[in-house]
Structure 1
Amino acid sequence: MADAELLVEVSAAVATVVIRNPDRRNAMTLAMWRQLPVLLDHLEAEPGVRALVLTGADGTFCAGADLSDLDELLSTGDASVAVAAEERLAAFAKPTVAAIRGACVGGGCQLAVACDLRIAADDARFGVPPARLGLVYPAPTTRRLARLVGPAAAKHLLFTSELVDVERALRIGLVDEVLPGVDLAARIDRLTATITERSQLTVAAAKEIIDGRVDDDRVAWWYGQVRASGEAREGVTAFHERRPPHFAWTPPPGR
């Protein structure tokens, strides 16, 4: 499948990763699952990247994992390359946004849920199909879905394997915003522009704390960064001077 690939573009401090597999409605192949963590490692280390957008080519987000790779995925369970890619995406140190059109099913939904925010066009459809296939959804993936939408909604998705429309996805918290497809790209641009203009210290600390990846020492480290960086001083001064703040903090090497 020579056309199955992940494409990357960086513009205005935002990296966009595009899932492309035109013959399979952007289903993720084993090679694509393996490629994603490598791309994320590179983009996370790039100081010019402040946010990441994950989307699909040609009006479809991702129709799931390529089932021709099923035997290998089944043999590895929670140690599969799909779970490894999901976990790496969830742990990405910078804000991540899923821009969703069309089908967002199975492995596609898995990747969208691993993002920080999900913005959907009004034609988006969501589904978690393992009960239709006789599979056990990976434990980390199941827990992440339940944390996002709640136990009852997660059970409904998993027990029925039904596709849900974007209105229901919004009600249960599976997506954060819904808008007409023609407006999706502009909304993603505005959202990521806002995020990248904010204090990256605040954004990075908030992401770690909300995701439960900090202990007391790490929280103390973040407060130390506030004191040392001058971010708060700049923010308050800019507020009083009625001008946009000029935040300059960047993550220390090897943090």
Structure 2
Amino acid sequence: MEPQLLHTVTGQVATVVIRHPAKRNAMTAAMWGSLPPLLETLAADPGVRVLVLTGEGGTFCAGADISTLRGSPLEAQRLAVAAEEALAAFPGPTLAAVRGHCVGGGAQLAAACDLRFAEEGARFGVTPAKLGIVYPSSATRRLVSLVGPATAKYLLFSGELIGTERALRTGLVDEVLPAGELNGRVAEFTGILASRSSLTQAAAKEFANGRTDRDAHWEERARESGDTSEGVAAFLERRTPRFS
């Protein structure tokens, strides 16, 4: 099968699937390069509220396809960083649904998502020290913001893999599901996300990512949208809100 990124849109949820079964869904240069324009297309779709990133079969992503690093490792890293930043900048909530190995570039992509749900038995690792690669500063800062400096150093210095128990304890993942229950929980939770105020989510995502100078902008957006009035009215009337 040709290594590629697949995507579907069901209701208000877009799902991007990493497919490279011959190499445990490792990302080729072409796959890294195709992610930003795909995300741009999905972000422009007004019907898409939530994005799920996952891997085909029993593996999320085993990292970068090492064979693509032999020729121009710096170019491969540039493509990976561009893909990571495009994923982090997606306007709606993003969720990585992880099975099996989530290693190297796979962990880089998962960390760029807003949330990470994993199936029991998944394994996580940040492995540039095994290849003599300098991990990008953007990815390092993002990892530190998730797990703290001590765990980030453990992962980066050693390249060792950790299981779901430690990943959950350190904040690398948000929920761990028993085998067979990941898809159902992801469907349930993305439905919850799609039902909430996109205004609240967009502002919270911007603030959480470090932008702190746009309170006035979001206050104006809130007044224009009417979401606050609708949310309060729906609560008092005991009905589901119809956010704009």
2:51 — aligned with what? 52
CA distance in 1, matches of 2:137, 2:205: 22
Q: Tell me if structure 1 keeps the 8 A contact 2:69–2:76.
A: no
Structure 2 runs not aligned, ≥5 long:
none
Distance 2:212 2:61 in 1: 32
Task: Say whether residues 1:85 and 2:83 are aligned partners.
Answer: yes
Cα deviation, 1:29-50, whole Å, max 9, x if unaligned, reads 0000000001000011110000
Distance across 1 between alignment mates of 2:186 and 2:38: 21
1:136 corresponds to 2:142: no
- Between stretches 134-143 and 103-112, larger displacement belongs to 134-143
Shift of 1:230: 1.2
In structure 2, C-alpha distance between the alignment counterparts of 1:72 and 1:62, rounded to whole Å: 21
Alignment of 1:2-81 (within 5 A): 3-76=2-75, 80-81=78-79
CA contact (8 A) 1:73 1:81 kept: no
Gap change, CA 1:134 and 1:16, over 3 Å in 2: same
| 3-state SS in 2 of match to 1:182 | coil
In structure 2, C-alpha distance between the alignment counterparts of 1:221 and 1:161, rounded to whole Å: 42
- TM-score, normalised by the number of residues in structure 1: 0.93
TM-score (norm 2): 0.97
Q: Deviations over 1:87-112 (max 9, x none)?
A: 11011111100000000000000000
CA contact (8 A) 2:68 2:76 kept: no
Letter in 2 for 1:10: V
| Residue deviations 1:49-89 (CA, integer Å, cap 9, x gap) | 000000000110000000011135523486x1001100110
Q: CA RMSD in A?
A: 1.2
Which one-letter code corresponds to 1:53 in the other structure? V
Q: How does 1:118-133 map to 2 (within 5 A)?
A: 118-133=116-131
Unaligned 5+ residue runs, structure 1?
Answer: 249-255
Percentage of pairs with the same residue: 60
CA distance in structure 2 between the partners assigned to 1:72 and 1:236 by the alignment: 58
- Give how far 1:197 is off: 0.4
Amino acid paired to 1:6: L
